[in-house]
């Protein structure tokens, strides 16, 4: 029987399905492509896959605009393909976590179409957030709020007779209308969705923007100047970010999750103040919440030490398990971040313009803009440190290949709404979503037979899985070994710091497992013990700069 606490220290591998593996040569990764790669995932040594949205979608936001929550995008396959993939993962001992997007549907969802076709004040409109505009003829938005992707957070509708109508709220793209979570029908329908996938064998859920569902939109709506900033408020007073009532929703979900054996797990994507994160991770709620603190830090011993200490103390106090992550589909790959020109930019997780105004990602992390070698060395060191910590490790597809951000995507081929809504400011997140290189040669580097939906740069060849398979010292073999060892060495969720120089982080785990990371620019001595893993070769028995070693 499955251990019901399997998720507490799992290594979870995020698959961005449209960019993972394409089975039918249409340039888009699909579910059959994932099934075909199950042996690869098994050899990698992960415990679970987190699958980003695979539902029918016009891809206005990479699939986070869902047309139908209980189906598979025909471009990605069928429900039968989903069942086949789930069975193959389970047979390989890998759990499946599905991404669920409850804050907003797409504008192509049946409900939204019905809302647009229905009159003001109708039950169909009450599933979303519709308001009259301000101004003499309702020509101004109900509030001046901006969407996360830039531009207004309200869009005006057109009535059936062609006249301008009400406005609807969208925190993200205009193709992503926010649902009204005060509406019991919305709540009930999501329970149906969670049950639908749980019954199909999904082991857990990743909850998209978990901190935005509950809203207090009582009039008069405050203006932007009166609002706090996302992720920084301590009192739940923002009209839509991190309100206390949101936990009532997750308490309902938890009841459903606990009806399954083992209980379904959940992890919140909640960009909230660290002190409010535990509420999402409570055992009566979702159980786990992403901790993005390390992801936002520089490659710096002091910052890492403070964040790790604080998060482990918090986890211990609340009984939650910690979560660690460096890369995902929303941020610049960490092998590139850590190679950015200045320390000040290393924490810059958003693709965009450098401090000197140079578009460092437009230069593709090359040439000269990003120190690719340094970035990769630090990324490997950071990953080994992360995998030695108590709690869950979330990995993003392609990081096991040491993949760099692909910055040189022509504007005409970009897809991310963040790019289109912020001209000249934000180049968007496409650079970490480019289809993976499986082979050094061949059409689309083995991704599929028919090209790739985002262009792959030539330098992807050197990162191909086939070029690293069985190669001593390759990033892929390093990840495999680290994950294998982690399985052997992982025990109680505790960690203790060992006194070390300020730019070295040394800690032990129960059973004598030690991890040492050298953040300095000079080699340092290693403690006593047998080295079982090193993110770079030792030099004269010493731990080089930007390297992590594990000892037992
Ligand atoms: C967070 C997701 O990770 C991101 O990709 C998406 O754009 C937003 N939520 C909106 O769904
Ligand atoms: Ca395909």
The catalytically annotated residue of 73, 175, 208, 298 is 208
Whether 269 is a known active-site residue: answer yes
Q: Tens digits of per-residue pLDDT, 429-470?
A: 899 999 999 999 999 999 999 999 999 999 999 999 999 999
CA of 488 to the centre of ligand 1 (A): 34
Residues 6+ apart with CB under 8 A from 86: 96, 200, 201, 202
pTM: 0.95
Q: Which residues of the chain have pLDDT under 70?
A: 231, 341-369, 424-425
**Cα(395)–Cα(206) distance, rounded to whole angstroms?**
14
**Cα(541)–Cα(489) distance, rounded to whole angstroms?**
23
pLDDT of residue 357: 37
Residues 6+ apart with CB under 8 A from 530: 551, 552
pLDDT of residue 425: 67
CA of 269 to the centre of ligand 2 (A): 28
Residues 6+ apart with CB under 8 A from 128: 111, 112, 115, 168, 169, 177, 178, 179, 180
3-state secondary structure of 338: coil
* Closest among 49, 78, 54, 77 to 64, alpha carbons compared: 54
**Cα(242)–Cα(211) distance, rounded to whole angstroms?**
5
| Residue with CA at minimum distance from ligand 1 atom 11 | 64
| 3-state SS record for 85-153 | HHHHHHHCCCEEEEEECCCECCCCCHHHHHHHHCCCCCCCHHHECEECCECCCCCECCCCCECCCCCEC
- Residues whose beta carbons lie less than 5 angstroms from ion ligand 2: 22, 24, 26, 28, 30
pLDDT of residue 345: 46
Atom of ligand 1 nearest to the CA of 52: 3
CA of 17 to the centre of ligand 2 (A): 10
Q: Tens digits of per-residue pLDDT, 389-439?
A: 999 999 999 999 999 988 778 889 999 988 888 776 677 889 999 999 999
Rg of the chain over Cα atoms, rounded to whole angstroms, equals: 23
| Residue with CA at minimum distance from ligand 1 atom 3 | 330
pLDDT of residue 352: 44
pLDDT of residue 319: 87
CA of 108 to the centre of ligand 2 (A): 22
**Cα(360)–Cα(363) distance, rounded to whole angstroms?**
5
pLDDT of residue 237: 86
Beta bridge pairs of residue 206: 99, 267
Instruction: For Cα atoms 40, 44, 48, give the angle at the middle one, nearest 5 degrees.
Output: 95
pLDDT of residue 342: 54
Strand order in the sheet with 531-534: 496-497, 504-509, 513-518, 547-551, 531-534
The catalytically annotated residue of 61, 175, 242, 269 is 269
Q: Which residues line ligand 1 (CB under 6 A)?
A: 61-62, 64, 101, 172, 208-209, 269, 329-330
| Residue with CA at minimum distance from ligand 1 atom 5 | 330
Whether 230 is a known active-site residue: answer no
């Amino acid at each position: 029987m499955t251990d019901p606490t399997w998720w507490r220290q799992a290594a979870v591998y995020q698959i961005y399905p449209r960019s993972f593996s394409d089975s039918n040569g249409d340039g888009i990764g699909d579910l059959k492509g994932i099934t075909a790669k199950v042996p690869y995932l098994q050899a990698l040594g992960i415990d679970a896959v987190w699958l980003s949205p695979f539902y029918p979608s016009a891809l206005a936001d990479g699939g986070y605009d869902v047309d139908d929550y209980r189906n598979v995008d025909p471009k990605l396959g069928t429900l039968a393909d989903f069942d086949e993939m789930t069975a193959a993962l389970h047979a390989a001992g890998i759990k499946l976590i599905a991404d669920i997007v409850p804050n907003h549907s797409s504008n192509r969802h049946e409900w939204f179409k019905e809302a647009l076709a229905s009159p003001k004040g109708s039950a169909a409109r009450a599933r979303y957030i519709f308001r009259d505009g301000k101004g003499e003829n309702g020509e101004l938005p109900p509030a001046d709020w901006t969407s996360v992707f830039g531009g207004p957070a309200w869009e005006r509708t057109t009535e059936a007779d062609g006249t301008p109508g009400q406005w609807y709220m969208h925190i993200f793209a205009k193709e992503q209308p926010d649902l009204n979570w005060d509406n019991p029908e919305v709540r009930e329908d999501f329970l149906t969705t969670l049950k639908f996938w749980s019954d199909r064998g999904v082991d857990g859920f990743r909850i998209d923007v978990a901190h935005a569902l509950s809203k207090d939109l009582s009039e008069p709506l405050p203006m932007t100047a009166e609002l706090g900033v996302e992720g920084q408020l301590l009192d739940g007073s923002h009209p839509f970010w991190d309100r206390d009532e949101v936990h009532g929703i997750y308490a309902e979900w938890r009841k459903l999750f606990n009806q399954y054996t083992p209980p379904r797990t959940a992890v919140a994507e909640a960009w909230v103040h660290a002190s409010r994160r535990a509420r999402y991770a409570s055992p009566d709620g979702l159980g786990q919440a992403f901790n993005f603190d390390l992801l936002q830090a520089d490659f710096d011993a002091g910052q890492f030490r403070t964040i790790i200490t604080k998060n482990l103390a918090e986890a211990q106090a609340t009984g939650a398990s910690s979560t660690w992550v460096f890369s995902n589909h929303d941020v610049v790959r960490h092998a590139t971040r850590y190679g950015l020109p200045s320390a000040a930019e290393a924490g810059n997780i958003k693709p965009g313009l450098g401090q000197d105004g140079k578009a460092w990602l437009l230069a593709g992390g090359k040439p000269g803009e990003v120190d690719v070698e340094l970035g990769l060395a630090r990324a490997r060191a950071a990953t080994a440190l992360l995998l030695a910590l108590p709690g869950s490790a979330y990995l993003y597809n392609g990081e096991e290949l040491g993949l760099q951000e692909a910055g040189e995507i022509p504007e005409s081929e970009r897809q991310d709404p963040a790019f289109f809504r912020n001209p000249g400011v934000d180049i968007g997140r496409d650079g970490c979503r480019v289809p993976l290189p499986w082979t050094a040669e061949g059409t689309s580097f083995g991704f599929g037979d028919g090209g790739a939906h985002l262009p792959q740069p030539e330098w992807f060849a050197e990162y191909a899985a086939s070029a690293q398979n069985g190669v001593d010292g390759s990033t892929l073999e390093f990840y495999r070994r680290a994950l294998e060892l982690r399985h052997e060495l992982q025990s109680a969720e505790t960690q203790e710091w060992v006194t070390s120089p300020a730019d070295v982080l040394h800690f032990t785990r129960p059973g004598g497992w030690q991890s040492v990371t050298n953040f300095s620019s000079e080699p340092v001595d290693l403690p006593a013990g047998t080295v079982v893993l090193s993110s770079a070769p030792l030099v004269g028995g010493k731990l080089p700069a930007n390297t992590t070693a594990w000892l037992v």
